[in-house]
């Protein structure tokens, strides 16, 4: 039995199709931040499409330029803070139990203004036996800010958006120039 070597990705336009697919899922994620279940579905789809984009870019770079250019691109992708993080998260999503995310909240204490007029139905001169003697004119508010990956305090959607933009920039430079290894390229 003779096995053929895999040809790999050859069409640069298919890399950019995957970038657009990832952007689609990212936009749906941002629209559904308040619905945890749907948000997680779109997050999974985004991570998988960004992973496919990365590996398709490796194949196109190898086909258009060389194996050395592909290896240089791979090293740059893994070293990049946003793209490397997305790549690792997509591997966890694909090969392990999935990524863990948390809701990001802010807690604030807001003054609660006293009522202007006392209630007509409460006795006016009876001592308030069951109320606290401490000032209760403040209220605690919990405000939802977004989602974050466990272990990373930045906003998840912003992190994914920055990573996808950097990945698209890498793809444009890698496909058009092939100068992957130069330090001034792919910043």
Q: What is the pLDDT of residue 133?
A: 57
Collect all residues with Cβ–Cβ distance below 8 Å to 157 and sequence separation of at least 6. 26, 29, 30, 33, 146, 147
pTM: 0.73
Residue 118 pLDDT greater than 70, yes or no:
no
Most trustworthy range by pLDDT among 26-40, 81-95, 118-132: 26-40
CA pair distance 58, 52, nearest whole angstrom:
10
The whole-number average pLDDT for the span 78-91 is 85
Length, in residues, of the chain: 187
From the list 149, 157, 161, the residue with the least C-alpha distance to 30 is: 157
17-39 pLDDT per residue, tens = 999 999 999 999 999 988 999 99
Counting beta carbons within 10 angstroms of the beta carbon of residue 29, is it exposed (0 to 12), middle (13 to 18) or buried (19 or more)? buried
Counting beta carbons within 10 angstroms of the beta carbon of residue 8, is it exposed (0 to 12), middle (13 to 18) or buried (19 or more)? middle
């Amino acid at each position: 039995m003779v096995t053929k070597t895999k040809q790999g990705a050859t069409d640069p336009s298919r890399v950019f199709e995957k970038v657009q697919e990832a952007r689609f899922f990212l936009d749906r994620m941002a629209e559904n931040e308040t619905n945890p279940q749907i948000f997680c579905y779109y997050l999974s789809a985004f991570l998988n499409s960004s992973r496919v984009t990365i590996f398709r870019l490796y194949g196109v770079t190898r086909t258009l330029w060389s194996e050395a250019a592909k290896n240089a691109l791979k090293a740059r992708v893994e070293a990049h803070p946003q793209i490397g993080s997305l790549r690792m998260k997509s591997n966890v999503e694909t090969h392990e139990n999935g990524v863990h995310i948390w809701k990001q909240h802010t807690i604030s204490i807001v003054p609660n203004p006293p009522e202007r007029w006392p209630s007509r139905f409460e006795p006016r001169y009876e001592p308030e036996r069951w109320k606290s003697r401490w000032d209760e004119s403040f209220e605690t508010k919990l405000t939802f800010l977004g989602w974050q990956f466990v272990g990373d305090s930045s906003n998840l959607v912003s992190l994914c958006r920055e990573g996808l933009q950097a990945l698209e920039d890498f793809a444009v430079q890698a496909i058009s120039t092939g100068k992957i290894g130069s330090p001034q390229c792919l910043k």
